[in-house]
Structure 1
Amino acid sequence: MTANLSETLTLLLIEDDDGDAFLVEELLDEAEAPPRIFRARSLQEAKTKLTSRIQCVLVDLSLPDASRLEALEEVLGLAPHAAVLVLTGLRDVHVGVAAVQAGAQDYLVKQDIDARLLARSIRYAMERKRADLAQLRLVQAELTAKENARLQSGLLPVKLLHTSEIDHTTRYLPGSGGTLAGDFLDTVQTPDGAVHIVVGDVCGHGPDEAALGVALRIAWRTLVLAGQTGDTLLRTLDALLRAERKAPEIFTTLCMATIAPDLRHATLRVVGHPPPVLVRDGAVEVVAGGPSGPPLGIFPDVEWSVIEVSLGDKWSMMLYTDGLIEAAVGERNELLGVDGLLDLVREHGAIDLDRLITHVGTLSDDLAVVLVSRRKA
């Protein structure tokens, strides 16, 4: 009966015996879709041929330069993506069992091999390897999710807000890649009644950036509660960033707002960051005045200018990271941009975070948003 391999494979045969190698090659040639076969006569030769294109490895454990399971361990280390079948003699069946326990997908006794058995064993080994890799990815995804949850708990603090005159809403969403970035947010009301808000973004993605975002957020909260504000606070954050970052090119953008105790005025510093959106007296606009200065971590001895904003009696202000304006929207997947964001707010008639996020759809980058509004009298 003709052997049948379900797909054309690229296979490496590691066998020093020419007779045994010839037998295996002849049997595989009977398959309906014969695999591409590369051969190595030693472990050293195999190391040069175990590339990512090899999907399956048949390895004899009796090689001239490797003893028993040593060869298998080398192969598993060099080709973690490939299915591995061990070839053994009748007297070494127990070695084959040990090989499977060590990570091989199956073992074959040379004296029992025929075309049908060989084709079936390779096919089953491939399926077992796919299942093993899928399980590994699942475990890794679960570990990543737990790590993300731990980091996210640091990125999403409990607000310290005591006034009943302000509505406060936040959102934190990871981008489509699933890996947390260094976006962070916080809100603190000091004893004088002023409300302090920060939204920031550490460049890059990954646990290091997320951890740095947590460190900056905690430092910001501590400094605000200790009475530090303005350039003094920013210079301290800049020094912390330079001390904690893993690479000198990592920088951080942020926007800080301090709402006066009368809730009618605010001062802002836009540190290389997208400008806040402000709705007051029915008008939708970005906070005027331009950026206050460059991001943290780039230039030494920077001074950041203050933006003074008159809020009035009825207003809403949204601080956000660039994940929002870099979202692709519409049939042409164009970036939303600041102008597009303003158009959406005008279309909705107010800043509705859930509706806004639903409209932009899938985010390519993390998103942190703080929305504060003065309640109606």
Structure 2
Amino acid sequence: MPRPYGPGGRGQRPGLPPGERLRVLLVEDDEGDAFLVGELLAETNAPIDLVVAASLNEARQRIAGVDCVLLDLGLPDAQGLDGLRAVLGMSSGAAVCVLTGRSDEHLGIGAVAEGAQDYLVKGQVDGVLLARALRYAVERKRADENTRKLREVELRQEESARLERGLLPQPLMDTDQVAVHTFYRPGRHDAAIGGDFYDVVQTAADRVDLIVGDVCGHGVDEAALGVELRVAWRALVLAGVPDDEVIPAVEQVLMSERPAREIFATVTTVRLDLAANRATVRLAGHPPPLLLSGGRVDPVPAPNGLLLGVRPRRPVAFDLEFDADDWSLLLYTDGLIDGRIDGGEERLDVPGLSTLVAEASGVPLPELPGHLVGRAEEFNGGPLADDVAMLLVSRGTGR
């Protein structure tokens, strides 16, 4: 009568798809025991393909594509848990069951603590339970892998949420002379963050500074760099650094922190002088703000400087005089205007966005940014590919 093997106490039924064939690598130097395992599985007609290796070195050559490793803890080139650790290191995707003798059952318990899915005690059950134990080990390994991957996704989401808080701060202002409405949407619609950023800082009763920026790219690395640039800009503004020196200093941060030399950024900054009812606009490779006033929508004709990180140069300041106390400025990133029109090659661009804003004269200001994205997506025939960030600052009704 064949000598049975038995599971180490984990008797749940496996839930693998019925009939799925498993590839099992038996690492056993005793030819008789290896033959016995094969006979036990053959008797049950279990859908298991058995491969045998007589040593760890041989197992290393045969482990590719294996679903489960059945490991004897007494091998010529590894003893006890050292052999298990070696197998775990070479079989990240395979389940591992260990074989122990009756007097060494404590090793099986230790093996499970080390990362094995189960242990089998020689001489206790038949081939049916052996096959069941192997299939259960594979199921448990897959469940563990799914749990690990789910946790990795959760950790990435938590990381994204932290970065999002850095990218999308609350405006630091307490004046009621102007109202600020914000909007943000990442280009990757399965993500929470991208490379665009914005910020608003009030440094005096009648002075408010704004920035909208875009780091090329859409991932976590670009988002992290965007956070650094935003925080650097806020710190420089709050520290009272002269206006002409702020963007060059932000560019220095970009050039020292970017992961590759080809990474660049664009920004628009606006300093509002509320007492004089005017603004100073600086562009660095960024599309111009739109001025909404007196029933008109016009791009601010500020000269555009070079991209940040390409060739350092101070952007030229442009003073914008407001003709009335009733106006709005829309700052945005190019993801809003890069969408196509009716599936063709023509892009929405600044003139198209100006038209959309003019057509939305009845839309309440807090809803205008979201409305513009919706309209841009209608023209694009689907979601916009790039990140979109917007700041809408208004004095009076702004329409």
| TM-score, normalising length: structure 2 | 0.76
Give the secondary-structure state (helix, strand or coil) at the position aligned to 2:105. Answer: helix
Match of 1:136 among 134, 148, 152: 148
Native 8 Å contact 2:218 2:387 kept in 1: no
> Do the aligned partners of residues 170 and 121 (structure 1) sit closer, same or farther apart at CA in structure 2, a change above 3 Å counting?
same
Question: Which residue of 1 is the match for residue 251 of structure 2?
Answer: 238
Q: Please point out which of 95, 109, 121 is paired with 2:133.
A: 121
Alignment match, 2:3: none
Question: Over residues 277-300 of structure 1, what are the superposed CA-to-partner deviations in whole Å (9 max), with x where a residue is unaligned?
Answer: 444444455545574222x2232x
Contact 2:293-2:327 within 8 A present in 1 as well: yes
CA contact 2:290–2:300 (8 Å) conserved in 1? yes
Offset of residue 186 of structure 1: 0.8
Measured in 2, the distance between the counterparts of 1:316 and 1:306 equals 19
Provide the C-alpha distance between the structure 1 equivalents of 2:21 and 2:267, rounded to a whole number of angstroms.
54
Q: One-letter code of the match for 1:63?
A: L
Residue 160 (structure 1) aligned with residue 172 (structure 2): yes
Structure 2 equivalent of residue 373 of structure 1:
394
Does residue 302 of the first structure (1) align with residue 323 of the second (2)? Answer: no
Distance 1:38 1:277 in 2: 70
Distance apart, 1:113 and its partner CA: 5.1
Of 174, 177, 184, the residue aligned with 2:197 is: 184
Q: Equivalent residues in 2 for 1:43-54 (5 A)? A: 43-51=56-64, 53-54=65-66
Residues 59 and 85, structure 1, Cα contact 8 Å, conserved in 2: yes
Cα deviations by residue, 1:229-276 (Å, 9 ceiling, x for unpaired): 554212111112222334433332222223343575434333233444
Which one-letter code corresponds to 2:233 in the other structure?
W
Mark the CA change 1:35 to 1:341 in structure 2 (over 3 Å): closer, same or farther: farther
Q: 1:336 to 1:128 in 2, by over 3 A?
A: farther
The 3-state SS of whatever aligns with 1:297 is coil
Q: 1:11 to 1:364 in 2, by over 3 A?
A: farther
One-letter identity of the residue aligned with 1:353: P
Distance across 2 between alignment mates of 1:325 and 1:122? 57
- Matched residue, 2:9: none
C-alpha separation between the residues in 2 aligned to 1:334 and 1:54?
50
**Share of identical aligned residues, percent?**
46
Residue number in structure 1 paired with 2:96 = 84
1:257 aligns with 2:278: no
- Secondary structure at the residue paired with 2:153? helix
Of residues 178-187 and 92-101 in structure 1, the stretch that sits farther from structure 2 once superposed is 178-187
User: Aligned equivalents of 1:307 and 1:172: distance in 2?
Assistant: 26
Who is 2:331 aligned against? 319
Q: Contact between 1:14 and 1:43, CA under 8 Å: does it hold in 2?
A: yes
Partner residue, 1:111: 123
How many equivalent residue pairs? 371
What is the one-letter code of the residue matched to 2:231? I
How far residue 362 of structure 1 moved from its aligned partner, in angstroms, is 6.1
SS in 2 for 1:369: strand
> Amino acid of the residue matched to residue 200 of structure 1?
G
Provide Cα deviations, 1:154-203, integer angstroms capped at 9, x if missing partner.
33333233432322112344543436444321112333723321122334
CA deviation string 1:99-123 (max 9, x = no partner): 1122111122243453322332222
Deviations 1:70-101 (A, max 9, x none): 12222223333322222223332221121112
Which of 53, 75, 88 matches 2:87? Answer: 75
- Partners of 1:311 and 1:253 in 2: how far apart? 25
Identify if the C-alpha distance between structure 1 residues 289 and 236 changes in structure 2 by more than 3 Å, giving closer, same or farther: closer
**1:20-62 deviation line (CA, Å, top 9, x unaligned):** 33343454456767345444332223334444x3332222222
SS in 2 for 1:304: coil
The correspondence of residues 277-356 of structure 1 with structure 2, limited to 5 A, is 277-284=290-297, 286-288=299-301, 291-294=304-307, 296-299=308-311, 301-307=312-318, 309=320, 312-313=323-324, 314-324=326-336, 338=349, 345=357, 348-349=360-361, 350=363, 352-356=368-372
Does structure 1 residue 271 correspond to structure 2 residue 284?
yes
Answer whether contact 2:327 2:397 (CA < 8 A) is retained. Answer: no
Cα distance per residue 1:209-232 (max 9 Å; x no partner)? 444333322221222234435542
Aligned to 2:68: 56
Amino acid paired to 2:252: A
In 1: Cα distance, 2:261 partner to 2:169 partner: 28
Q: What is the one-letter code of the residue matched to 1:376?
A: T
Letter of the 2:315 partner, please give it: W
Residue 7 in 1 paired to residue 20 in 2? yes
TM-score by length of 1: 0.80
1:125–1:185 CA distance, 2 compared to 1 (3 A): same
8 A Cα contact 1:11 1:37, kept in partner: yes
Deviations, residues 300-357 of structure 1 (Å, cap 9, x unaligned): x324344555654343333234555567999x79998546755654554446234445
- The change in CA–CA distance for 1:156 and 1:14 in structure 2 (over 3 A counts) is same
Q: Which amino acid is 2:56 matched to?
A: L
